Amino acid sequence: MLEFHWRTVDEVDDRLYQAWTQLGMQTAHTNLYAMPQFVLPASRLLDPGNPARIAVIERRNAGGSELLGVGCFTHHRPTLFAPLPHLRCFRTRHTFQDGLLCAPGAAQEVADALLGHLDRGVRGPQAIAFRNVADDDPVLQALRGRADAAGQRWYPLRALQRPVLRYDAAPDARSRIPRRVAGDIERRQRRLAASGRLSFRLLLGADVTDEAIARHLDIEHMGWKGNSHSSMRSSATETAFFEDMCRRFRAIGSTVFCETLLDGRVIASASGFRVAATMNAFKTAHDPEFSGASPGKANILSLLAAIPAALPEVAMFDSSSREGSFIGAMLPDSRTMLAGFLPLTRLAARALKAARLLRPLAYRIDDDP
């Protein structure tokens, strides 16, 4: 028997936390940003005024319960994009993927449970907004199938190509990076090495100490990010969020930092998190004193080359970036990410269809879809 419950972040007890973590680490369709290690600190610290509502789907049997799916949402009033009350997948400025977690083979059950337990009354949500969901996400596909069957089709906003590197396509990642890009980085590295001893180190799990976390924040605060107050160190809540998230992922061995050093001084640092078979980039930073040598790019190049031996379970490196980013130029593969709305009622389908006429205005005033 399936059971559906809404939970607040404060109602996530140790049993649910552990089961949720296990679910996220076992599913083939991973999502760093749907893991409790991200959602709980992000919801409590980054947007406490609109905290995540957590949809929990379990299968009950004589032997106990099995967690089948978890989805995190926030409730929103009508906008120009969606002129009816709607749910959004929980997001922050650090969220680069939407979607629900589900157990292997349980996508249809999770989708049906979610649709069956949403209150679609006058004030209830009439649609679900996705801003950055993989097109092959199994729960999205199940939800779209149900919508199509009911004549309430998916309303797309855009499709983006996320730069990734697929290690399952070829084990030698360095050979797949565009030669022009790799060659330029290597030339800059050689010039930098001429001025001192250049080295690289990979920190995994417990090796990512609080000192390494603080060092990463300090380097990211240097230069234009610090000057524009956009670094994590510029905000006490952003700093606390990052520290909490890193420690939570460290507890399950998933925090990964890489550092480039010149004569023992860290001049570039990158943070990331391994979830199941995906290595997710999070933040990259470098000392602006050495910007001409592109130590940030060299640091990522070293990470990509080190992953097969250090993390052999990793099948894909996800840049968590857009096309045209500096990491994107280094990566030969891509995955399609979608933004759009899933109507839950015929009224919502009609409203979303009509709202397409307002999209130019919505984008012009930066109305958030």
> Among residues 59, 70, 62, 66, which one has the least CA distance to residue 24?
70
Residue 367 has pLDDT above 80, yes or no: no
Is the model's pLDDT at 220 over the cut of 70?
yes
Question: For residue 15, what are its two tokens?
Answer: 């049993």
Residues pairing with 64 in the sheet: 61
CATH topology (fold) of 2-161+336-364: Aminopeptidase (3.40.630)
Phi-psi region of 70 (alpha: psi -120 to 50; beta: other; left: phi over 0): beta
Q: Supply angle C-alpha 144, 150, 153, rounded to 5.
A: 45
Q: Where are the domains of the chain?
A: 2-161+336-364, 169-314
Q: Nearest 5°: CA angle at 146, between 145 and 149? A: 85
Map residue 82 onto helix, strand or coil: coil
Q: Tell the CATH topology of 169-314.
A: Aminopeptidase (3.40.630)
Contacts of 72 (CB under 8 A, 6+ apart): 34, 39, 43, 52, 53, 54, 55, 89, 90
Summarised one tens digit per residue, pLDDT across range 227-248 is 888 999 999 999 999 999 999 9
256-309 pLDDT, tens digit each: 999 999 999 999 999 999 999 999 999 999 999 999 899 999 999 999 999 999
Q: Which of 318, 307, 283 is nearest to 97 (CA)?
A: 318
pLDDT tens for residues 297-356? 999 999 999 999 999 999 999 999 988 888 888 999 999 999 999 999 999 999 999 998
Residue 307 has which token pair? 């992953």
The answer to whether domain 2-161+336-364 and domain 169-314 are alike in fold is yes
Q: Where in 249-331 does DSSP place strands (E)?
A: 255-262, 265-275, 278-286, 316-318
Alpha carbon 129 to chain centroid, angstroms:
16
Q: Under a CB-based contact definition with an 8 Å cutoff, are residues 258 and 199 in contact?
A: no
> How far apart, in whole angstroms, are the C-alpha atoms of residue 286 and residue 224?
11
Q: Which pLDDT does position 173 carry in this prediction?
A: 75
In the chain, the amino acid numbered 241 is F
- In sequence order, the 6+-apart residues with CB closer than 8 A to the CB of 13 are none
pTM, full prediction: 0.95
Q: What is the pLDDT of residues 142-172, one digit of tens each?
A: 999 999 998 889 999 999 999 999 998 776 7
Write the CB contacts of 239 (distance below 8 Å, at least 6 apart in sequence).
217, 232, 233
